[in-house]
């Protein structure tokens, strides 16, 4: 029978090959791990603070724009979930032009991300994110900003839908709006806005104009359609109600470039 020591000889040889770290090295490794974990937590905290700092719709403002000179805005994934359609089928002539809004305005296309002050986001903030399934039936989409400054701009999104779905979206929006007359933006009661329908069917085949007020500040939302093509607008220019109506009328006229039956 082999000697018992023979069974442990290979283990002893392996142990002799192991180089154990001296205490100083062990402490240095521990410090590096703690520092790495600390940096990771600091980065996470920074992200949380950035999200909280978004504040109200008046602070959230515009989505990120591609052209230089425009400051990107934070994005929050609370918009109604949709698959972004192509913009190929929306001619640029169907969108608002700078002269439609006023002197000193310029257009910029290619907005990235969601407009966190749009009427769709207002519906989400008041618990109506699923107010319509029409977005699932969009065939084409194009976003445009017509701006003078970071405080004066119109954001427009023009969509082509499958047959009857543009009208369906407007019908669904009209049905949801009475449930969202008071909206806490991002759930914050200190940033409660009021939504009031102030105009209906004055432009295009159908339209609705909504006044949003927060304290002494006012902006307007509008949806106007021609056939199966729809424009959704956020008018943040300091416009009066009549000036906002005029912009919506012009947007409805521009849609004819995408609707041959106009």
Q: Is 227 left (phi over 0), alpha (psi -120 to 50) or beta?
A: left
Which CATH class for the 62-258 domain?
Answer: alpha beta
Residue 200 has a CB neighbour count (10 Å cut-off) of 13
- Helix, strand, or coil here: 171? helix
- Strands, sheet with 229-236, edge to edge from the N-terminal-most edge strand: 106-109, 138-149, 152-161, 229-236, 217-226, 206-214, 192-200, 182-184
All residues at 6 or more sequence positions from 79 whose CB lies less than 8 Å from its CB, including other chains: 114, 116, 118, 120, 121, 124
| Whole-number pLDDT of residue 111 | 75
For residues 121 and 113, give the distance between their C-alpha atoms in angstroms, rounded to a whole number: 12
Helices (H) then strands (E): counts for the chain: 7, 8
Q: What is the pLDDT of residues 123-139, one digit of tens each?
A: 999 999 999 999 999 99
- State the average pLDDT over residues 96-101: 97
Q: What is the pLDDT of residues 44-66, one digit of tens each?
A: 343 333 333 333 344 445 554 44
Of residues 74 and 9, more confidently modeled: 9
Q: Write out the H or E segment, with its range, that includes residue 183.
A: strand 182-184
């Amino acid at each position: 029978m082999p000697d018992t020591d023979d069974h442990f000889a290979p283990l002893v040889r392996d142990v002799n090959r192991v180089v154990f770290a001296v205490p100083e090295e062990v402490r240095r490794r521990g410090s590096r791990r703690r520092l790495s974990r600390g940096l990771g937590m600091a980065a996470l905290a920074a992200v949380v603070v950035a999200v909280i700092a978004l504040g109200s719709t008046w602070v959230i403002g515009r989505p990120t724009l591609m052209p230089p000179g425009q400051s990107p805005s934070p994005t929050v994934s609370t918009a109604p979930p949709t698959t972004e359609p192509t913009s190929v089928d929306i001619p640029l002539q169907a969108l608002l032009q700078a002269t439609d809004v006023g002197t000193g305005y310029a257009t910029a296309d290619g907005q990235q991300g969601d407009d966190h002050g749009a009427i769709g986001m207002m519906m989400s903030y008041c618990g109506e994110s699923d107010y319509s399934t029409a977005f699932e039936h969009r065939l084409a989409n194009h976003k445009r900003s017509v701006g003078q400054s970071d405080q004066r701009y119109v954001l427009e999104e023009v969509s082509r839908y499958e047959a009857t779905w543009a009208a369906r979206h407007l019908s669904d929006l009209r049905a949801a709006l009475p449930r969202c007359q008071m909206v806490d933006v991002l759930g914050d009661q200190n940033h409660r806005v009021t939504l009031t329908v102030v105009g209906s069917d004055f432009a295009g085949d159908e339209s609705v104009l909504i006044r949003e007020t927060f304290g002494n500040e006012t902006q307007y939302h509008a949806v106007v359609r021609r056939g199966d093509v729809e424009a959704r607008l956020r008018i943040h220019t300091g416009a009066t109600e009549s000036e906002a109506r005029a912009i919506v009328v012009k947007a409805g006229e521009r849609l004819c470039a995408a609707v041959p039956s106009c």
